Structure 1
Amino acid sequence: MILELADIRIQPGKQAEFDAAIQRGLDRVISRATGFRGYKVNKGVESPERYLLTIFWETLENHTVDFRQSPAFQEWRAMVGPYFAVPPTVEHFTLLTKSR
């Protein structure tokens, strides 16, 4: 299992619009992608324009190849991209340990 972590900064004052757009994009586009296993979105308290999007993928290639090189990626970016203040920082992780 691979965890994708996207650190997203949006334009000030666009939170309500972005909240709807990211939910729509996750439900309509990303959730249908090959290897998709789930997601979580966290919204900043001290920084309300900051979001942490975590997506669980079966393999790294499910994200970097199957999704990123598909037309679905362009559809996703068309939904959420207009709200970005800067391009998101995206990294991938594997699980080392977790609580019970």
Structure 2
Amino acid sequence: MVLEAVMLHVKAGREEEYEEAFRAASKIIASMPGYISHELQRCMEVKGKYLLMVNWETIEDHEIGFRQSDEYQEWKKRLHHFYDPFPTVEHFKKVHQ
């Protein structure tokens, strides 16, 4: 399993709109091959800051299967305009529990 982790900064004043758009867009990512689960968490200290974590079976499921799909284009259309700056995506593999 691979964890995709992304720190997101949503434009000021658009947080509620973003959360609603994210809820709707969640159906897209959840339908993808190799998808396991995801969660979006809101930062308690910094307004507009979120942590997105998505569990994938493999990194290829995310980088190729999702990112190169038509579904990703729809995800991008619904969500990417909320971010400033545009986020950096990182992948992690569990080494200890």
Aligned CA-pair RMSD: 0.8
| Amino acid in the other structure paired with 1:19 | E
Q: Compute the displacement of 1:97 (Å).
A: 1.6
**TM-score normalized with structure 1 length:** 0.93
> Which deviates more from structure 2 when the two are superposed, residues 55-64 or residues 38-47?
38-47
Report Cα offsets for 1:37-94 as digits up to 9, x if no partner.
0011110111121110000000000000000001111100111112111111110000
Unaligned stretches of 5+ residues in structure 1: none
Aligned pair count reads: 97
Identity of counterpart residues, as a percentage?
31
5+ residue gaps in structure 2?
none
Which stretches of structure 1, 4 residues or more, deviate above 6 A after TM superposition? Answer: none
Q: Which residue of 2 aligns with 1:13?
A: 13
Q: Which amino acid aligns with 1:45?
A: M
Query: What secondary structure, in the 3-state scheme, does the structure 1 residue paired with 2:76 have?
Result: helix
Match of 2:55 in 1: 56
1:29 aligns with 2:31: no
